[in-house]
Amino acid sequence: MPHPLDAAAVRAWCALALDALGRAREEIDAINVYPVADGDTGTNLYLTAESAVRAVEAVFEAHATAGPGARPGLSEAVRAMAHGALIGARGNSGTILAQLFRGMAEVLKDSGGSDQGHLLGRALRRAVDSAYEGVARPVEGTVLTVAAAAADAAARTEGDAAAVARAAHTAARTALEATPGQLAALGRAGVVDAGGKGLVEVLGALVAALEGGATPDARPARISAPRPADGCPAGGAHGAAPGTGPAFEVIYLLEADDAAVARLRARLDALGESLVVVGGDGLWNVHVHVDDAGAAVEAGVDAGRPYRIRITHFGAAADERTRAPEPAQRAVVAVVPGEGLAALCAEAGATVVPVRPGEPPASGELVEAVRRAHAREVVLLPNDPDLRHTAAAAAEQARAEGVRVALIPTRSPVQGVAALAVHEPGRRFDEDVVAMTSAAGATRYAELTVAESRSWTMAGVCQAGDVLGLIDGDVAVIGADLAATAATVLDRMLAAGGELVTLVVADDAPAGFAEGLERHVRGGHLAVDTVVYRGGRQPAPLLIGVE
């Protein structure tokens, strides 16, 4: 069934776009040859979309405090999406994506009584116009070309919003396949435009959100890894060999009025290239490639108040790192819920990223944790299946900064504890990663939680207030009592064998809960050891690991 273009659809679109970009991130990075062949377009688009998702979720959470039925309107949701993307935009393509969202929001915020198909078509057209306005020197064969084709198709299409989105997505795919013939750098490398590929993924997610189905296949016919042509390297900025363009990428948020920004555009356009200035209403995101990074920042200071300044030196580690204290050889970064486990992992030497209830960490937080670890080699333990794309994006960004990162796909904190227990910094990196991966993989995991509403599960129908026992991520037991349900889950897990049971108990668990489970294991499962940790204020009353 088609879904109306409302706040819920915007929320679903953002979530689906983030997932699609997460899955396509490495492929998009691999085909990134224009404007600079620095292999980060997929990661930048993912981080931009991630910021949009967090902003939209924050709006929904704010309304939820007013009552279970309270929801934001379409206008509020699209404004949050655009603002989140603007403040979190990374790189050239991420900045353009943020402006596309902003252009759409300008139309969708005034949606009262409009035909939704026509409304979406107008929103896509405004998105493209605003993106072209934000780019100082537009180049065809890029994400702008793909966006324009999508908007043109949307304007020609009659029907509901889902039909318009489908037409826009189909046209974008076709336009993407044509980009190697429009831009010399792409043609020499034998790839489509990386930013355009990312936009196709985002439009595919819009189709899925409005049609209520899976994200359409966004893979065009011609995608490959960059290849040399005629003995020359893949094109860099404006088709030149990498290293011949400006030395620095400068990005910052800027508080300034329209007149000051107009002067800033002219000044930065004279300083460098790949200039994109997007935003409005006093807040702007500035992106430019220059040889004199200081002059680009100074121009922002003269225009208003720049902040969140990021300067990246193309093709080399930042000079600051060469002056930093000697890094350690190896470190472990672990995402951990609850202060009890956080303290345990910190005692074991890990750099900890604490998880706040309902607030999963963003990629930027994981990257900052890797930087804090200050090591040449880092093992990253996400400890949550929903963080797989976030952790992968963070690992890629850290690798671009010169850190050797191994991502072990731990799905539960108890798997992370098992991996950390066998960590030996004195081993060779590969051997240590293999040992930690094996320990995590040999640990089955479970958790107990309380159902918030009536719903269908793998174990049958549960009612609000029921205790759910999840084994390896699926509901396996439905019960009425916390202790009895935990005992049943333990029996099921140990039926397949086990030598060590790890129990991580929340502070609000009933008195004697952990001791009773220890007695249960001793009484029914000989030769099985039990270790109990106090998890603190963790989301689940109980986490279980069986090794």
266 backbone φψ class: left, alpha, beta (φ>0; ψ -120 to 50) = alpha
Calculate mean pLDDT across residues 446-462. Answer: 90
- The phi and psi torsions of 193 (rounded to 5 degrees) equal -70, 130
- Distance between CA atoms of residues 127 and 154, nearest Å: 12
Query: pLDDT band at 318, cuts 50/70/90?
Result: very low
What number of helices (H) and strands (E) belong to the chain?
19, 16
Calculate mean pLDDT across residues 100-106. Answer: 94
Calculate mean pLDDT across residues 484-491. Answer: 94
pLDDT at 233 over 60: no
CB 276 within 8 A of CB 96: yes
Calculate mean pLDDT across residues 159-175. Answer: 96
Q: Which helix (H) or strand (E) holds 253?
A: strand 248-255
Please report the pLDDT score of residue 396 as a whole number: 87
Report the 10 Å Cβ neighbour count for 183. 24
CB 305 within 8 A of CB 255: yes
DSSP structure string for 437-466:
HHHHHT-EEEEEEE-SS-EEETTEEE-TT-
Please report the pLDDT score of residue 357 as a whole number: 67
Q: Quote the longest CA-to-CA distance of the chain.
A: 78
| Pairing between β-strand 542-546 and β-strand 500-506 as defined by DSSP bridges | antiparallel
Of residues 487, 454, 490, the one with CA closest to residue 471? 490
Q: What percent of the chain has pLDDT over 70?
A: 90
Per-residue pLDDT reduced to its tens digit, 41-75: 998 899 899 999 999 998 998 887 766 677 889 99
Query: pLDDT band at 538, cuts 50/70/90?
Result: confident
Amino acid at 104: M
Tokens of 11: 């929320």
pLDDT at 80 over 90: yes
Calculate mean pLDDT across residues 467-483. Answer: 92
| Pairing between β-strand 444-450 and β-strand 455-457 as defined by DSSP bridges | unpaired
- Distance between CA atoms of residues 195 and 41, nearest Å: 6
Please report the pLDDT score of residue 537 as a whole number: 78
Please report the pLDDT score of residue 416 as a whole number: 94
Query: pLDDT band at 144, cuts 50/70/90?
Result: very high
190 backbone φψ class: left, alpha, beta (φ>0; ψ -120 to 50) = left
Query: pLDDT band at 400, cuts 50/70/90?
Result: confident
Please classify residue 414 by burial: count the beta carbons closer than 10 Å to its beta carbon, then call 0-12 exposed, 13-18 middle and 19+ buried. buried
Give the up-direction half-sphere exposure of residue 530: CA atoms within 13 A in the CB hemisphere: 21
List residues bridging with 68 in a β-sheet: none
Of residues 148, 109, 115, 114, the one with CA closest to residue 131? 148
Of residues 249, 250, 247, 245, the one with CA closest to residue 301? 250
Tokens of 386: 């929903």
Report the 10 Å Cβ neighbour count for 360. 17
Please report the pLDDT score of residue 227 as a whole number: 46
pLDDT at 242 over 50: no
Please report the pLDDT score of residue 237 as a whole number: 30
CB 449 within 8 A of CB 540: yes
Give the up-direction half-sphere exposure of residue 228: CA atoms within 13 A in the CB hemisphere: 6
Tokens of 243: 């290293």
pLDDT at 320 over 50: no
Please report the pLDDT score of residue 534 as a whole number: 86
pLDDT at 240 over 50: no
3-class DSSP state for residue 408? coil
Calculate mean pLDDT across residues 390-398. Answer: 88
Per-residue pLDDT reduced to its tens digit, 264-300: 999 999 999 989 999 998 999 999 999 888 889 899 9
